[in-house]
A and B are shown apart, each in its own frame.
Chain A
Amino acid sequence: MSRIGVFICHCGENISRTVDVERVAQVTARLPGVAIALDYKYMCSDPGQNLLKKAVAEHKLDGVVVAACSPRMHEKTFRNAARAAGLNPFLCEMANIREHCSWVHEDREEATAKAIDIVKFTVSRVKKDRALAPITVPITKRALVIGGGIAGIQAALDIADAGHQVVLVEREPSIGGHMAQLSETFPTLDCSQCIMTPKMVDVANHPNIKLYTWSEIEEVSGYIGNFQVTVRRKARSVDEDKCTGCGVCMAKCPQKKIDNAFDRNLGTRPAIYVPFPQAVPNTPVIDRDNCTRFKTGKCGVCEKVCGPGAIDYGQQDQLIVEPVGAIVVASGFDLYNIGPKPADSPYEGYGEFGYGAIPDVIDGLTFERLASASGPTGGKILRPSDGKEPKQVVFIQCVGSRAREKGISYCSKICCMYTAKHTMLYKHKIHDGQAYVFFMDARTPGKNYDEFWRRAVEEEEAVYIRGMVSRLYQKGDKVVVMGSDVLVGVQVEIEADLVVLATAVQARTGADLLAQKLGISYDRYNFYSEAHAKLKPVECATAGIYLAGACQGPKDIPDTVSQASAAAAKVMTLFAKDQLEREPIVARVNERNCAGCLACKKVCPYGAVEEKEIRDRNGNLIKTVAYVNPGVCGGCGTCQATCPSKSVELDGYTDEQIMAMIEAL
């Protein structure tokens, strides 16, 4: 006969308000095999846990049921307590009478009866539990960082500085991300390039960092401590080992009229290019879609002029498999597109702003390029249409953000600050110019942030108009801005020379596809989901994968860098151990019964089922059976449901246990 202990928690009043916990204790105490049942106000507290430990010793318990909250909340707590009392922790099970009972019911009688049932069947389950030992798996102490913006750079440098190998994958030809495009940064107005490029060089020179630019993640398999990542190195058409970065190929390329995406299409670049002069690595890439050689076969100038002979038109994409133990996702963000709706965008854009068809209506990132010393105008603020200095500039905040009807209800967080910064940069360069800002709210929490915004208003003479803009239209060489000033209660019309839209931060196009490869979850806006909004802000629900930067949600540079370092710290914590302990809730094959049909292998979503040959002592093959790799098994039970001969079972959830639970009702 078993000796089970049942411990019923009041959870303050969370459970006892709806469930008569004393009665649950009285009834379950009389169940066959139950040695003791008692209730307590907070089972998870120290005295509560001590109660459990004492009872295990006093009553020589061989199984424990804690009737309390969800196992996701406190299973670990109570299993640790059981372990401390000398019991195998996997002989301790939770009966969830909070989320599954007291929280969802009102009638006390019925809720109590249901709680008794839940405890009853959990007791039946515990009786059939086996003592299990945790599975240990080795850890590959190398990390993958996806994305070479400031988030990925920071995380890679931190992990590499701790002495671990890092593989940094960036899909553009250079690392640097959005931050490399900015002119100055708030709230200190230090030059973005000046603080960014040294870090980029550090990445390139770090002995522990393997840098793959112009590369994408093709496939991810494995699990925490043991991921296999396939990286697609897109054909660069330039041999990185031979190239010296002299730049002659770019200077001589006859096709120079390609829109420069790095400069937000304000300038042009050749078909063989680096995105910007400070690029890391300083190795060009041939844009095959626009290269005359690849389009017609009739050029080849770069090959002729290249001294070291680095040009390789025949280069193919390469697939490289990298084993890593942890992954930091730092894939960044995109900006809301106000132009015609792109096919892959869920958002409609702004018809009232002409769908981006007015040349002097630009977005904030384009203004950064205009203001940047390394930008297409050499840092002079000149408007795109005719290259004139704009004397009246209207900035419009919350374009796309906080606009449910446009598809996005969240705040993009950075726009209030960067718009204030833009007004200052503008005033510093065009002293007689006037900046106007249309805003809904000025949201400036952050160290020295509000002071920065006030400076824009009080010292740099930006005129802030609280209200939204209803329409923009071209009138001669001006852009007419029709808006409202809701504080004064009047309609406002401004004839502007340039209009700058603070467009919403949105998830990267294709962020969902990357998430699916990684097996991590994402929200309705395709931002990646953290495991817990407050207490696990950098971890994914998928073990071994961590988040950094704006791929998780809109973030400014300080927050991004903090989160990147936090993600790196989490990776280092993982790498501090040599072996990883995993819960042994995995499937086991009964090799005696297994007929080797491998139906389980076909359905296993984790790829955990392998073939195993059983041989006699002379090495003759007796039969082939299924084998479940406990390191890979996710414990879902699909194999168990599929097996025609009932030869594979999930520990803790065997058919025998499930049947016993049903019979107990």
Chain B
Amino acid sequence: MSPNRKFALSYSYYPGCSLHASAKEYDVSTKGVFNALRIGLKEVPDWFCCGATPAHNVDELLSLALCAKNLSLAGKVEGDLAVACAACFSRLKTTQHRLKENDIKRKQVETAIDGPVPLGKKVKHLLEILAKDFGLDKLEGAVQKPLTGLKIACYYGCLLTRPPEVPELDDCEAPTIMENVIKAVGGEPVAWSHRLECCGANFTLSRPGVILKLSNEILASAKDAGADCIMVACPLCHGNLDIRQEEIEQATGRRYGMPVFYITQLVGLACGVSPLRLGLESMIVSPAALLREKNLL
């Protein structure tokens, strides 16, 4: 199989389960942006769950094998592997890192999936593709409707840059890649304190109280820093900050009304992708009023 040859840049694409379910708008907007920027994207056939957070808590071999099998499927599609979800990104990179340094584990996993693991296949987060491969200059050139006046709290969460030796995306404690992308499309990143804190992740199901505390701190910190909205690159963070926002407001009595965008939604808006192809309607906290105020709709 070969990716679409009419594009200078093209990638194999691993959406991950969320992007086919709760985070459909991330998938839709990713495709929208890549299409607008003329970057090829070819979904890996027959991909399945990377194991996310549950698998590696239960059985390391299982968690490695799930990712290894997906990597092996991705190996059949040309181009570096583009990943949207921060958790999938982290798991796939962790698997490569772990198997590179440990021969015994690698052999076990190869036995389990009945084939070699393509450890050389480059796994890249969308951010990396936009900021580095496509390039900030070109991105700036592709802007049709700059996000002027939109104050954005860029939220990395815990997985995108950590642990330091795995993602190789940016400085693990003081990254700037999201802010750079936002500046390139004309937005105003705010300086705030909770860019790298944990939102509570999948405690959202087992111990929602944890989310109320942790995600509240993130929303409060963004609000206090003067942000109009938050930008994320992870479906789990999105779920906690967007879907749970009303619940948090009820619990704390503080009103945030803070839309939570995926990075591709904001970049898409700026690059002239039709709002209908960005899944804005799926957001629980509606961005309509904010975007109208800033003349972006």
Size of the chain B interface, CB-CB below 8 angstroms: 9
| Shortest distance between the CB of A361 and any CB in chain B (Å) | 13
Q: From A355, which residue of chain B is reached at the shortest CB distance?
A: B174
A475 with B173: CB separation less than 8 A:
no
Is B172 positioned at the interface, with any CB of A under 8 Å from its CB? yes
Is A441 positioned at the interface, with any CB of B under 8 Å from its CB? no
Is B148 positioned at the interface, with any CB of A under 8 Å from its CB? no
| Shortest distance between the CB of B203 and any CB in chain A (Å) | 15
Docked CA distance A474–B171 (Å): 20
Is B164 positioned at the interface, with any CB of A under 8 Å from its CB? yes
**B-side contacts of A354, CB under 8 Å:** 174
B174 with A351: CB separation less than 8 A:
yes
Is B193 positioned at the interface, with any CB of A under 8 Å from its CB? yes
**A-side contacts of B196, CB under 8 Å:** 471
Is A109 positioned at the interface, with any CB of B under 8 Å from its CB? no
B152-195 vs A, Cβ < 8 Å mask (1 yes, 0 no): 00000000000010000001111000000000000000000110
Which residues 198-239 in B have Cβ within 8 Å of A in the complex?
221
B173 with A474: CB separation less than 8 A:
no
Q: Which of B172, B174, B193 contacts A475 (CB 8 A)?
A: B193
A351 with B193: CB separation less than 8 A:
no
Which residues 324-355 in A have Cβ within 8 Å of B in the complex?
350-352, 354-355
B173 with A352: CB separation less than 8 A:
yes
By secondary structure, the B interface counts as: loop
**B-side contacts of A350, CB under 8 Å:** 173
**B-side contacts of A405, CB under 8 Å:** 164
**A-side contacts of B221, CB under 8 Å:** 475
| Shortest distance between the CB of B45 and any CB in chain A (Å) | 40
Band of interface residues on A: 10 to 19
Is A567 positioned at the interface, with any CB of B under 8 Å from its CB? no
Q: Which of A351, A473, A474 contacts B172 (CB 8 A)?
A: A351
B193 with A474: CB separation less than 8 A:
yes
**A-side contacts of B164, CB under 8 Å:** 405
| Shortest distance between the CB of A21 and any CB in chain B (Å) | 43
**B-side contacts of A151, CB under 8 Å:** none
Q: From A350, which residue of chain B is reached at the shortest CB distance?
A: B173
Q: From B171, which residue of chain A is reached at the shortest CB distance?
A: A351
Docked CA distance A198–B194 (Å): 51
B173 with A473: CB separation less than 8 A:
no
**B-side contacts of A474, CB under 8 Å:** 193
By secondary structure, the A interface counts as: mixed
Is A480 positioned at the interface, with any CB of B under 8 Å from its CB? yes
| Shortest distance between the CB of B137 and any CB in chain A (Å) | 24
Which residues 446-487 in A have Cβ within 8 Å of B in the complex?
471, 473-475, 480
Docked CA distance A2–B213 (Å): 91
| Shortest distance between the CB of B54 and any CB in chain A (Å) | 24
Docked CA distance A471–B173 (Å): 9
| Shortest distance between the CB of B22 and any CB in chain A (Å) | 29
Indicate the member of A354, A355, A473 with the most B CB atoms within 10 Å. A473
| Shortest distance between the CB of B164 and any CB in chain A (Å) | 7
**A-side contacts of B193, CB under 8 Å:** 473-475, 480
**B-side contacts of A475, CB under 8 Å:** 193, 221
Docked CA distance A475–B194 (Å): 10
Docked CA distance A405–B194 (Å): 23
Docked CA distance A592–B221 (Å): 88
Which residues 506-543 in A have Cβ within 8 Å of B in the complex?
none
| Shortest distance between the CB of A345 and any CB in chain B (Å) | 15
**A-side contacts of B171, CB under 8 Å:** 351
| Shortest distance between the CB of A418 and any CB in chain B (Å) | 26
Q: From B193, which residue of chain A is reached at the shortest CB distance?
A: A473
Q: From A352, which residue of chain B is reached at the shortest CB distance?
A: B173
| Shortest distance between the CB of B144 and any CB in chain A (Å) | 35
Q: From A405, which residue of chain B is reached at the shortest CB distance?
A: B164
| Shortest distance between the CB of A482 and any CB in chain B (Å) | 9
Which residues 348-395 in A have Cβ within 8 Å of B in the complex?
350-352, 354-355
**B-side contacts of A473, CB under 8 Å:** 193-194
Docked CA distance A116–B238 (Å): 76
Q: From B194, which residue of chain A is reached at the shortest CB distance?
A: A473
| Shortest distance between the CB of B156 and any CB in chain A (Å) | 12
Which residues 8-42 in B have Cβ within 8 Å of A in the complex?
none
Docked CA distance A475–B217 (Å): 12
**B-side contacts of A471, CB under 8 Å:** 196
Docked CA distance A350–B173 (Å): 8
**A-side contacts of B174, CB under 8 Å:** 351, 354-355
B66-108 vs A, Cβ < 8 Å mask (1 yes, 0 no): 0000000000000000000000000000000000000000000
Which residues 179-211 in A have Cβ within 8 Å of B in the complex?
none
Q: From B221, which residue of chain A is reached at the shortest CB distance?
A: A475
**A-side contacts of B194, CB under 8 Å:** 473
**A-side contacts of B173, CB under 8 Å:** 350-352
Docked CA distance A355–B175 (Å): 11
**B-side contacts of A351, CB under 8 Å:** 171-174
| Shortest distance between the CB of A406 and any CB in chain B (Å) | 10
Which residues 211-269 in B have Cβ within 8 Å of A in the complex?
221
Docked CA distance A354–B174 (Å): 7
Q: From B174, which residue of chain A is reached at the shortest CB distance?
A: A351
Which residues 135-149 in B have Cβ within 8 Å of A in the complex?
none
Docked CA distance A421–B193 (Å): 31
| Shortest distance between the CB of B97 and any CB in chain A (Å) | 15
| Shortest distance between the CB of B197 and any CB in chain A (Å) | 8
Docked CA distance A227–B193 (Å): 57
Docked CA distance A474–B172 (Å): 19
Docked CA distance A471–B162 (Å): 14
Docked CA distance A167–B128 (Å): 57
| Shortest distance between the CB of B227 and any CB in chain A (Å) | 15
Q: From A357, which residue of chain B is reached at the shortest CB distance?
A: B174
Docked CA distance A110–B71 (Å): 52
| Shortest distance between the CB of B280 and any CB in chain A (Å) | 31
Indicate the member of B171, B173, B193, B196 with the most A CB atoms within 10 Å. B173
Docked CA distance A149–B194 (Å): 43
Docked CA distance A243–B229 (Å): 64
Q: From A351, which residue of chain B is reached at the shortest CB distance?
A: B173
Docked CA distance A198–B202 (Å): 65
Q: From B172, which residue of chain A is reached at the shortest CB distance?
A: A351
| Shortest distance between the CB of B190 and any CB in chain A (Å) | 13
| Shortest distance between the CB of A159 and any CB in chain B (Å) | 48
Docked CA distance A473–B225 (Å): 13
Docked CA distance A148–B13 (Å): 63
| Shortest distance between the CB of A188 and any CB in chain B (Å) | 39
Docked CA distance A58–B193 (Å): 87
Q: From A472, which residue of chain B is reached at the shortest CB distance?
A: B193
Q: List 12 A-B contacts (CB under 8 A).
A: A350-B173, A351-B172, A351-B173, A351-B174, A352-B173, A354-B174, A355-B174, A405-B164, A471-B196, A473-B194, A474-B193, A480-B193
Residues of B that sit less than 8 Å from A by CB: 164, 171-174, 193-194, 196, 221
Contacts A350-B173, A354-B174, A473-B193 known; list 13 others, CB within 8 Å: A351-B171, A351-B172, A351-B173, A351-B174, A352-B173, A355-B174, A405-B164, A471-B196, A473-B194, A474-B193, A475-B193, A475-B221, A480-B193
Residues of A that sit less than 8 Å from B by CB: 350-352, 354-355, 405, 471, 473-475, 480
Give the top 10 A-B pairs by smallest Cβ distance, nearest first.
A351-B173, A351-B174, A473-B193, A352-B173, A351-B171, A355-B174, A475-B193, A474-B193, A351-B172, A354-B174
